[in-house]
Structure 1
Amino acid sequence: MDLKEAAKRILGPKEYGEIRDSVLEAVAAYKEPRYLDLSDRVTVLFEDAVTVWFQIEEALYAEGEEGERLVGEAVRAYAPIAPRRGELSMTVMVNLYNEGELRALLPKYAGIERSVAVVAGGRAAEAKPIFPEDYAEGAMPRSIHYLKAPLPGLEGLRVLVRHPAAEIEAQVPQRTIEAIRASLYAEDVQWA
């Protein structure tokens, strides 16, 4: 299946449902090299228009017939995650392994969304939340953070996290860099 070609437009629940089984398998393979475990608690997924398209299609599919009516709303909600050329889009996930950690551990990671940077070629770029309103005063701690950073380059790309609960510096493996290099960007799709 050519995911990049499929992801150029939103199919909607009916058409997507007809190819969903093959999409699930293809997307799992597509996303696999885009994951980077920074620690046992923090994982990054380097997003692109294919991974965002999949989120949109799955959300609409879950809505069934109602999903056809919600296409515009779903695109508006998810499209900002798709990077433009020169950007790196990341979903930073705080891994929780049981319900007790939700209350006890997750609050310790508050502010991690302001603690991530990428470095390449001696240049650093701070990642910022795509949806800053998610972090307004009184917001509950989150385990998933959507961030973007200007892409300083890909050679020697590293991810830095400078947070009291996670002090991490990780080299991005070459296979992940190749996956990022092969990304489909917001400019390449008709729905973004």
Structure 2
Amino acid sequence: MSISRESLWSLEEYARRRQEFRAEVMAHKKRRTVAVGGHVTLIFEDELTVRYQIQEMLRIERTFEERGILDELDAYNPLIPDGHNLKATMMIEYADEAVRKVELARLLGVQDRVYVQVGQHPRVFAVADEDLDRQNETKTSSVHFLRFELTPEMIAELRGQRGTGAPSLAIGIEHPNYTYRVDAVAPETLAALVRDLA
């Protein structure tokens, strides 16, 4: 699934709809957000969250020319899951700027150590930042884009088609300087993510 140029609102139309649309998207995102430890948050993207991001970028940049709109679509459409994966924006958050600088240096490579685990299946580690590298030799970025590729068996289990009892999805990070695991995401989050899977 991807967002088409024709389905976007004009700047004027978006200005009229923005308040109501934003409230809808914030409630939607809340069900798709998982905190992993005290400093990492994953927001699992879908068509609605990406549509909102595109409309916001067009609004902020006052983009109305065709080329600029198509550039935004090209940048953000890859964040929409395609039926056999989950995609997430990962945010590393430290309120104190000095602490954040130190921690981002300690967390080099953390984006490659994020995983999801369906039931008793093997962990699926993220494919990170496919559009561009978001770390250098000295520090990682505070924002990363992650893709988790699931097998047909994992998808079937999450959708309750394998008769293994209630499906469960764990999310964790296994990094020398940041190791946390959420043993089972909340039921409303699991239900939202299952809808991303064909």
TM above 0.5, yes or no, is: yes
What does residue 110 of structure 1 align with?
108
What does residue 16 of structure 1 align with?
14
The separation in 1 between residues aligned to 2:175 and 2:21, in whole angstroms, is 36
What does residue 160 of structure 1 align with?
172
2:72 paired residue among 64, 74, 97: 74
Contact 1:118 1:149 in 2 (8 A): yes
Q: TM-score, normalised by structure 2?
A: 0.81
The separation in 1 between residues aligned to 2:177 and 2:7, in whole angstroms, is 40
What does residue 176 of structure 1 align with?
189
What does residue 81 of structure 2 align with?
83
One-letter amino acid matched to 2:141: R
Uncovered stretches (5+) of structure 2, i.e. residues with no partner: 1-5, 159-166
RMSD of aligned C-alpha atoms? 2.5
Matches within 5 A, 1:20-169: 20-64=18-62, 66-69=63-66, 70-123=68-121, 124-131=123-130, 133-135=132-134, 138=137, 141-151=140-150, 152-153=154-155, 154=158, 155-169=167-181
**Offset, 1:139:** 7.8
Task: Mark the CA change 1:138 to 1:104 in structure 2 (over 3 Å): closer, same or farther.
Answer: closer
**Offset, 1:133:** 2.6
**Among the aligned pairs, what percent are the same residue?**
26
Q: Which of structures 1 and 2 has the larger relative contact order (alpha carbons within 8 angstroms, sep 6+)?
A: 1
Deviation larger for 117-126 or 76-85: 117-126
Uncovered stretches (5+) of structure 1, i.e. residues with no partner: 1-7, 188-192
Contact 2:170 2:185 in 1 (8 A): yes
**Offset, 1:132:** 5.4
CA deviations 1:129-177 (Å, max 9, x no partner) are: 1425324754852011110011333321111211012111112111100
One-letter amino acid matched to 1:156: S
**Offset, 1:37:** 0.9
